[in-house]
A and B are shown apart, each in its own frame.
Chain A
């Protein structure tokens, strides 16, 4: 899924910097596409009929895939009565009524805030803990290293639901029900994240750390000034994943956030769905919760595809 850019953008060193050449991204893409296509033998490219058939099939599949999103958005913009099929899918007339009522009368702003806290704190915490542990597992020798690492990995196979019940009992005993820490802290122990970090850091050359050590850097400084900057690509990938995982998480927030005030968006929307809230209002809540997912997806698409393939095949 990685693509190399054939045209380098001008580097930014020196005051006499030449005016940036506008990159013709479309032309670049076409070049890459043609290169990839030309490496395939002509007979394997398929006939014209075959290509048309492929286009039709893909178009149909894309429509089916997109349809729920389209329906979600259009229905959420309808005045309350008009939810009959198929007329309701015509995007006319549209109104923001449902959004007004969901943002004012319901607890959606509070749930949005909870979800943000849950997702962002978890991302920062998980990335920090996992990169520290990953660095130690990859580059430090200490007693019990292998045993610890394998105990991490073995737990990946145990279904979340086996550990959830005792975790909940413990959090309840400690008074963590309906608190942010009760929601967040148990999710910070992420074995996959540690594994991914270790794999990545293993590939970094030892000389870098040695050189810094000779220059008199302390271990913490080495970690902060050398390891973390080198980790940027994997931190971005993992960060996007952890963010989405928490944003979409349902069962754990459902059992820990029991009061209305402590619900996350997914839990809140599920509760709206079960009350007699009009469909367009529920859907406007869904759209609000979906917008950040979609934005993260658009921005971090490359990271997604790389992360999925990396974690999927190696994990």
Chain B
């Protein structure tokens, strides 16, 4: 009945009811859509256009073609930022994925306290990295817990945050700490949908825990892992909060990331056109990586 009524109502496209519905629909969407046009879509387009100008808060705004991108290409700081960002990603993303998979496997089945563990592991995800960074600065300080712990493994005493080689691994560790709970939760949700018969069949064939994971669970998780890899890569390309708070890009630009450069160019030197070009470069990079990941990981999807 309802379907028929619905069809009859919608059938008369030009009818007064349909016109009324269209008016109401537009009216309800409009506030959101206007905001969206003004603050997302418009700036998205403007961001690309701006990267072709010398726009700055003090003046300018002339079209200068690819000059900003040529400048980026020759800017050693950009290459440093790119190197730092890629290095951070290469450590943080696999780290996050491995820890996520491990902990989702460990908390997969319900047992006494399994929910408490899941909640604990998700807590860093909801915590602001700026707040966490204040204590991580102490954790990594000379003579602090991390430096002491690493001393047992033969690392020289001293703060990883003031070492130009170790600063990125240190920041990536903080990144893993703050993100693995998210991956764990997504994987747990996916694991609940894996048909149990598959594992039970493998079990009767005599497959051990590792074999069941390797040949049954892991292939089923592949799409989810791909999704997480894309999300985490995008997130780590945009790493900023922890860098700003913990190292300020130092020592000697050793933790100067792409978004840090964007912030520097835009809001320290008010060179907004150049900052927009860095934003576009970041966007292109994100697309390329998502595409490559799709080729490598998602071959049979």
Contact = CB atoms under 8 A, between A and B. Distances in A.
A135 to B, nearest CB: 6
Interface stretch (B31-39, B76-84, B86-94): B31-39
Q: How big is the A interface, by class?
A: 35 or more
Contacts of A165: 43, 47, 50, 262, 266, 272, 275-276, 279
A132 B28 contact: yes
Contact of B5 (A67, A133, A148, A210): A210
B42 A166 contact: yes
A212 interface: no
Given A206-B6, A313-B190, A85 B245 contact: no
B126 A297 contact: yes
B43 A269 contact: no
Contact of A266 (B25, B130, B282): B130
B55 A140 contact: no
B234 interface: yes
Contact of A85 (B29, B36, B103, B148): B148
Contacts, number: 300
B10 interface: yes
B283 interface: yes
Contacts of B52: none
Given A143-B22, A273-B133, A305-B185, A293 B282 contact: no
A155 interface: yes
Interface stretch (B104-112, B161-169, B291-299): B104-112
Interface in B13-33: 18, 21-29, 31-33
Chain A interface mostly = helix
A62 B24 contact: no
Contact of B122 (A33, A41, A304): A304
Interface stretch (A7-15, A17-25, A93-101, A283-291): A283-291
Contacts of B200: 41, 44
A266 B47 CA distance: 26
A58 interface: yes
B203 interface: yes
A223 B293 CA distance: 43
A81 interface: no
A251 interface: yes
Interface string A276-307: 00010011011001100110110001001100
27 contacts: A1-B188, A33-B112, A40-B109, A61-B117, A62-B121, A86-B148, A133-B28, A140-B22, A148-B33, A158-B283, A159-B283, A162-B47, A164-B279, A165-B262, A166-B50, A169-B46, A169-B50, A172-B57, A185-B39, A189-B32, A247-B128, A248-B128, A250-B128, A269-B134, A297-B119, A313-B190, A313-B224
Interface of A: 1, 32-33, 36-37, 39-41, 43-46, 50-51, 54, 57-58, 61-62, 64-69, 71-72, 75, 83-86, 129-130, 132-133, 135-137, 140-143, 145, 148, 151-152, 155, 158-170, 172, 185-189, 191, 194, 206-207, 210, 219, 223, 244, 247-248, 250-251, 254-255, 266-267, 269-270, 273-274, 279, 282-283, 285-286, 289-290, 293-294, 296-297, 301, 304-305, 308-309, 312-313
